[in-house]
Amino acid sequence: MPYPTDHQRDRPWVMRTYAGHSSATASNELYRRNLAKGQTGLSVAFDLPTQTGYDADHPLARGEVGKVGVPISHVGDMRRLFDGIPLAKANTSMTINAPAMWLLALYVTVAREQGGDEVLAGLAGTTQNDIVKEYLSRGTYIFPPAPSLRLTTDVIAWAVHHLPKWNPINICSYHLQEAGATPTQEVAYALCTAIAVLDAVRDSGQVDQSDMAKVVGRISFFVNAGLRFVEELCKMRAFAALWDEITRERYGVTDPKLRRFRYGVQVNSLGLTEAQPENNVQRIVLEMLAVTLSRGARARAIQLPAWNEALGLPRPWDQQWALRMQQVLAYETDLLEYEDIFGGSRVVETKVAEIVEDARAEIERVQERGGAVAAVESGYMKSQLVSSLADYRRAVESGERIIVGVNEFESTEPSPLQAEGAKAIETVDSAVEKKAVAALEDWRQQRDNAAVERALAALREAAKTTANLFEPTLECARAGVTTGEWAGALREVFGEYRAPTGVSAASGGGEPGELARVRERVRATDEELGERLRILVGKPGLDGHSNGAEQVAVRARDAGFEVIYQGIRLTPEQIVAAAVQEGVHVVGLSVLSGSHLEVVPEVVDGLRVAGAGDIPVIVGGIIPAEDAQLLADRGVARVFTPKDYELNTIMDGVVTLIREAHGLPG
């Protein structure tokens, strides 16, 4: 988006909604409707199997197909996704991370089909492939850090030479905030990631030193904006100041335009509440102000969540409401007519300087530990985030931090927005997965499988060298390789990875009185049973949002439980096996992706088959009331949703469940 001079009216930012579900055809229809409503960019949400490199028929994909995004298995799906949408005129953001190279190759292939190589020069948009933040917060990584960074480097090098308007990476601090990052940590860890990426590109030999300024100029960021909007506004100004400093001093970029901090934003989705969800409307608007009021650090692309995302998948009308919020601000107010209204503000300048100073110090601490990748592998950054989120939760539980409708002002009238019950959210037909699996089989039968094998063999061989992998990936896309096959070939060469959870090193705690009471109940139950209470915290399926599970694990540990937590992406069979082997007294499952009706009953049934059906199973996540009843009917002991924010109360309830299961008085 062009930047005007100080005497021109600022241009509106790119307006997006994060969207995609069910199938490429259904998502294409949604995109066309949104563009017709005045949306000026697309933000593609891919489903979890696609984001983690699995086809729809893989066992880990069960229950996840089409739930939180669109399934894209091959170039045919990508054609359907953008059917009738000229990519030369589009501005597309794609949240893909580990398989970013693969999805971008599919996108480039479809663009070439629409207009030949000439169209590549005009492709505009962003690939979100900041793999460091995946290890820290979101969990859709596949490979170890080193080969993952290589894939990112190869994408950037190829794009700089072939896609001059494309942002080949989106350094993403968004999920760091949701994982507990303070403004200082969010700025510091995102910039440490940017340093790691730029150093890797520079040292790869794929880009001439004279072209490094071009690389810097194509780096974009994707940030989060929370409700403390003065602090958030100052955070963005601090981001811009530090980025200008780093790119000038570390990489020698002399052109101030190429040093400009370019970012898009989505405001805090996990900060939205299930209780009194109508309050989320004003939360979203206030959070949007943090990244629009300051012209000197204004976002150039914004996507807003819908008011009901804490309840489930938003409907098209809900997304339209979120789009209209942006349009009213951009076109009905006078915001874009003025220069930066905070220039010379003593309050803002003082806060910006504070964040800059603290972030510099934290950047230095990470660099002393070997940089962002080493700080991921050691667990340093992850444990810092888990501790920060624990501090935040303690403030909410104590009432020090007020959340309207949750821990204060809880009395409410019935919401007419929820009068339709389950119809107040979008639901994905259970037949979507079966259709996707059948379509995948048809694709495999119709393609030239010999060409597929040749392309995959070439990819594997190239992966064993230091060659750029984008061209072999493009050949795979043209040959009809599937997402799972592409990722599977690289898994054979690179292996897979399980990131540190950060739980063991995190500081915990809670309100001393209440926690002490729960701890005493745990100790008493230990003595009555003659063994220490053990809880298994599990993340079944492909959902990588582990913040809640980690906080439950930390609080359970502090309450006196022995905690078994193995991280994300486990099959029901693995969870059952661990529960039986460890002899746990309760199994706690966390699911935020909508696959709870598929994966949770498999755990319950698996325990019963293993002769451990007496172990209570509890579930937490974004679970509609109707689904909670279905889970109870299938044998789940308790269901917790975002409104259940008091972890000590949850721990107390877990102790009661264990006592009941063993015939002890409550």
pLDDT value for 188: 97
Question: 570 - beta bridge partners?
Answer: 540
To 10 degrees, the CA torsion angle through 217, 220, 221, 225?
100
| In contact, 224 and 170? CB cutoff 8 Å | no
Catalytic residue among 18, 31, 107, 263: 18
- Main-chain dihedrals φ then ψ at residue 419, nearest 5 degrees: -65, -25
pLDDT tens-digit readout, 78-128: 999 999 999 999 999 999 889 999 999 999 999 999 988 889 999 999 999
Question: Angle at Cα 395 formed by Cα 520 and Cα 397, nearest 5°?
Answer: 50
In angstroms, rounded to a whole number, what is the distance separating the alpha carbons of residues 153 and 141?
Answer: 16
Question: Angle at Cα 600 formed by Cα 552 and Cα 69, nearest 5°?
Answer: 90
pLDDT tens-digit readout, 224-274: 999 998 999 999 999 999 999 999 999 999 999 999 999 999 998 888 998
Catalytic residue among 31, 54, 141, 174: 174
Mean pLDDT of 200-211: 93
Q: How confident is the model at residue 600 (pLDDT cuts 50, 70, 90)?
A: very high
The letter for the amino acid at 171 is I
**For a pLDDT cut of 90, what percent of the chain falls above it?**
76
In angstroms, rounded to a whole number, what is the distance separating the alpha carbons of residues 354 and 238?
Answer: 9
**Read out DSSP for 294-331?**
-GGG--SEEE---TTTTTSBPPHHHHHHHHHHHHHHHH
Q: How confident is the model at residue 7 (pLDDT cuts 50, 70, 90)?
A: low
Mean pLDDT of 174-192: 94
pLDDT tens-digit readout, 496-553: 988 877 776 666 655 667 889 999 999 999 999 999 999 999 999 898 888 889 899 9
**Mean pLDDT over all residues of the chain?**
92
User: Does the active-site annotation cover 174?
Assistant: yes
pLDDT value for 498: 84
Mean pLDDT of 425-435: 85
- Distance (Å) of CA 230 to CA 216, 289, 291, 404: 28, 9, 10, 19
In angstroms, rounded to a whole number, what is the distance separating the alpha carbons of residues 137 and 547?
Answer: 7
Q: 241 is written with which tokens? A: 């100041």
412: part of which helix (H) or strand (E)?
none
- 442: helix, coil or strand? helix
Catalytic residue among 21, 58, 539, 596: 539
In angstroms, rounded to a whole number, what is the distance separating the alpha carbons of residues 494 and 475?
Answer: 20
pLDDT value for 200: 96
pLDDT value for 116: 87
Catalytic residue among 55, 57, 543, 558: 543
Q: Of the given ranges (65-79, 177-191, 304-318), which has the lowest mean pLDDT? A: 304-318
| In contact, 44 and 17? CB cutoff 8 Å | no
Q: Is the pLDDT of residue 1 over 50?
A: no
- Distance (Å) of CA 663 to CA 408, 411, 654, 657: 37, 37, 14, 10
| 72 Cβ contact list (under 8 Å, min separation 6) | 24, 46, 50, 78, 81, 103, 106, 483
Catalytic residue among 545, 558, 585, 645: 545
- Distance (Å) of CA 212 to CA 154, 190, 433, 632: 14, 19, 44, 57
Q: Is the pLDDT of residue 2 over 50?
A: no
pLDDT value for 169: 95
pLDDT value for 508: 61
User: Does the active-site annotation cover 74?
Assistant: no
- Distance (Å) of CA 5 to CA 11, 233, 320, 368: 11, 21, 32, 40
In angstroms, rounded to a whole number, what is the distance separating the alpha carbons of residues 179 and 221?
Answer: 17
Q: Is the pLDDT of residue 3 over 50?
A: no
| In contact, 535 and 564? CB cutoff 8 Å | yes
Measure the N-to-C terminal CA separation of the chain; round to a whole number of Å: 62
pLDDT value for 420: 67
Crossing angle of helices 647-661 and 547-558, rounded to 10°: 70
Chain-centroid distance of CA 447 in Å reads 33
Crossing angle of helices 470-479 and 483-494, rounded to 10°: 140
Question: 640 - beta bridge partners?
Answer: 620
Gyration radius of the chain's alpha carbons: 24
pLDDT value for 592: 87
User: Does the active-site annotation cover 175?
Assistant: yes
Mean pLDDT of 410-428: 78
- pTM reported for the whole predicted model: 0.91
Q: How confident is the model at residue 154 (pLDDT cuts 50, 70, 90)?
A: very high
Catalytic residue among 74, 175, 585, 596: 175
**CA-closest candidate to residue 649, choices 556, 564, 584, 560:** 556
User: Does the active-site annotation cover 614?
Assistant: no
**CA-closest candidate to residue 218, choices 262, 154, 155, 153:** 262
pLDDT value for 249: 95
Q: Is the pLDDT of residue 4 over 60?
A: no
| 178 Cβ contact list (under 8 Å, min separation 6) | 137, 224, 268, 269, 270, 271, 545, 547
